[in-house]
Amino acid sequence: MRAQQYPYLSLRPMATKVRVRFAPSPTGGLHLGGVRTVLFNYLFARHHGGDFVLRIEDTDNTRFVEGAEQYIMETLRWCGMEPDESPAAGGPFAPYRQSERKASYMQYAEQLVAQGHAYYAFDTPEELEEMRNAFKSAENPSPQYDHRLRMKMKNSLSLGEEEVGRLLSEGVPYVVRIKMPEQETIGFTDMIRGEVSFSTSTVDDKVLLKKDGMPTYHLAVVVDDYLMQITHAFRGEEWLPSAPVHLLLWKYLGWSDAMPQWAHLPLILKPDGNGKLSKRDGDRLGFPVFAMNWTDPRSNEFTQGFRERGFLPEAFVNMLAMLGWNDGTGKELFSMTELISAFDMSRVHKGGAKFDFEKAKWFNHEWIKTAPAERLLPDVKDVLKTADISAVDDSYVKQVIDLVKERCTLLPDFAEQAGFFFKAPAAPDMEPVKAKWNLDKTLFFTDLPAVLEALPTWNAIALEAAFKEMAAARAIKVGELQLPFRLMLVGGKFGPAVFDIAALIGKQAVINRIKKGLESLA
């Protein structure tokens, strides 16, 4: 078949615009490594004014997991990385789910067979198993379907033409395998690693098309990167071993000139640097490795996400970007806009990046601290609602946020740090001040409400002045009065400046809490 006969090909203009794709298989939740791959794709696309495509690689039916695609889309949305083209958004190269493109792959498999770069293989699963047992030896402990064994198997290279014709006409199921050259060195220039080369001798004859006519990942990824005019393909380092198969497919299909530039992103490592970070490390060490909560519908296994743990997407994205990249100036805090303008693939490190949960929390704290109250408002209201704290007045909630945000590392911290602005402490624990309590202090707090009532202006400065003046008049050290005052208002030894708290919760609430505090001390 000639290229012009393929419908997609005739549409193909010269690709000048940057086009990248994130191509997940819908097999479960997205963990850090996956989201970082999206992020680097996204940053690169936006930096170059290009397109960011989401393509769902669902050719492996046995690994398909219900809900995974929705989860992936929701994660991208939460992180602020909306694709320009996707199954949901559509686009000029739709469909964006490989299962819906099934019909378009067969012709390329046939083309490869016709040109001698691939062949039909009729072996049954039992025969394959037999091969693995029969050819196992000290020098070849796990025999593969490759140049050493292919002529001993049942395929269109080893069988006569007539026999092949017979099997095909009888409808005997077959797969199409690539015919890997016996001894060839092939290579490419990786944007991160530079020159990378492989010897084809160790790579087996991968299946390209399955018995049901569905392509495997290897064929589908090459065909779709070509048809979708992808200019740059960034993916995890774990895909590097597949590169020789893909390189040959680009070559055999006659598309070498259109091959995207590849970058294989370094792994995200366990905190101790010992290998790839896994979901299990998160469970073991008590931190999330998924972007959002995920429950596997097959096993009901639950995995906690950064979102539900109380991370802001801004912080999550910022933290992820710094796992394997920096701008060379020592700057660590970047908004998405800043990342887009600073991102440069040549500054992505070759080595893996160790994940450090404490550092991740540091990013979140920095983001919470500097976020405008307006930005935090919906999240904080959710946190308060979950803690059964009613917060209806937005302008009040925003004032509270500004007072306490510096003390919050994760969003749920707002429940404790802000809760007492909405609800009086149930029974204030006055224990810390009991030992040094005396009659003078009781009288001070008994008389304080009247002084507060009489204040002409209600603000922190006026409150503090009146409080200190009263303490001086009674010769009591202010330091010894502030802690009990805090315990009465807050219910614990924490929170922002006590007069700021008093000013915000209001005169009546302050007076009520003083009375309750005195009762606890009585």
Taking the C-alpha atoms of residue 405 and residue 373, their distance in angstroms, rounded to an integer, is 8
CB of 135 to ligand GLU, least distance (A): 30
- Position 312: which residue type? L
**Which residue's C-beta sits nearest to ligand GLU?**
235
Q: Which of 221, 259, 319, 430 binds ligand GLU (CB under 6 A)?
A: 221
- Position 286: which residue type? G
Catalytic residue among 102, 210, 276, 279: 279
End-to-end CA distance of the chain: 95
Please report, as residue ranges, which positions from 32 to 61 form the binding site for ligand GLU (by CB under 6 A): 57
Taking the C-alpha atoms of residue 45 and residue 23, their distance in angstroms, rounded to an integer, is 15
Q: Which of 18, 19, 20, 23 binds ligand GLU (CB under 6 A)?
A: 23
- Among candidates 388, 383, 236, which has minimal Cα distance to 311? 383
CB of 363 to ligand GLU, least distance (A): 26
CB of 22 to ligand GLU, least distance (A): 7
Stretch that binds ligand GLU, among 17-25, 110-118, 421-429, 451-459 (CB under 6 A): 17-25
Q: Which of 24, 288, 305, 419 binds ligand GLU (CB under 6 A)?
A: 24
Please report, as residue ranges, which positions from 500 to 519 form the binding site for ligand GLU (by CB under 6 A): none
Nearer residue to ligand GLU within complex by CB, 324 or 425:
324
211 is catalytic: no
CB of 37 to ligand GLU, least distance (A): 7
Stretch that binds ligand GLU, among 20-28, 272-280, 303-311, 363-371 (CB under 6 A): 20-28
Please report, as residue ranges, which positions from 238 to 297 form the binding site for ligand GLU (by CB under 6 A): 239
Q: With contacts defined by CB under 6 A, how many residues of the chain interact with ligand GLU?
A: 8
Taking the C-alpha atoms of residue 178 and residue 253, their distance in angstroms, rounded to an integer, is 12
CB of 238 to ligand GLU, least distance (A): 8
Two tokens, residue 287: 């931190």
Taking the C-alpha atoms of residue 54 and residue 74, their distance in angstroms, rounded to an integer, is 12
CB of 9 to ligand GLU, least distance (A): 21
Strands 207-209 and 268-269, sheet pairing: unpaired
Q: Which residues contact 281 (CB under 8 A, 6 or more apart)?
A: 270, 271, 289
Taking the C-alpha atoms of residue 441 and residue 461, their distance in angstroms, rounded to an integer, is 22
Q: Which residues contact 294 (CB under 8 A, 6 or more apart)?
A: 28, 29, 71, 302, 303, 305
Two tokens, residue 112: 């490869």
Nearer residue to ligand GLU within complex by CB, 27 or 326:
27
Nearer residue to ligand GLU within complex by CB, 63 or 385:
63
Q: Are 310 and 364 in contact (CB under 8 A)?
A: yes
Is residue 143 close enough to count as binding ligand GLU by CB under 6 A? no
Strands (E), 348-456: 353-354
Q: Which residues contact 425 (CB under 8 A, 6 or more apart)?
A: 489, 490, 491, 492, 513
Stretch that binds ligand GLU, among 19-27, 141-149, 204-212, 321-329 (CB under 6 A): 19-27
Q: x/- site string to ligand GLU, residues 181 to 220, per CB under 6 A?
A: ------------------------------------x---
Q: Which of 18, 19, 20, 25 binds ligand GLU (CB under 6 A)?
A: 25
Between vectors from CA 220 to CA 14 and to CA 38, what angle results, nearest 5°? 75
Please report, as residue ranges, which positions from 229 to 248 form the binding site for ligand GLU (by CB under 6 A): 235, 239
Nearer residue to ligand GLU within complex by CB, 53 or 430:
53
Q: Which residues pair with 177 in a beta bridge?
A: 119, 207
Q: Are 97 and 56 in contact (CB under 8 A)?
A: yes
CB of 377 to ligand GLU, least distance (A): 37
- Position 234: which residue type? F
CB of 181 to ligand GLU, least distance (A): 22
- Torsional sign, CA 305, 32, 234, 26: negative
| Interface positions with ligand GLU (CB under 6 A) | 23-25, 57, 217, 221, 235, 239
Which residues are the active-site residues? 279
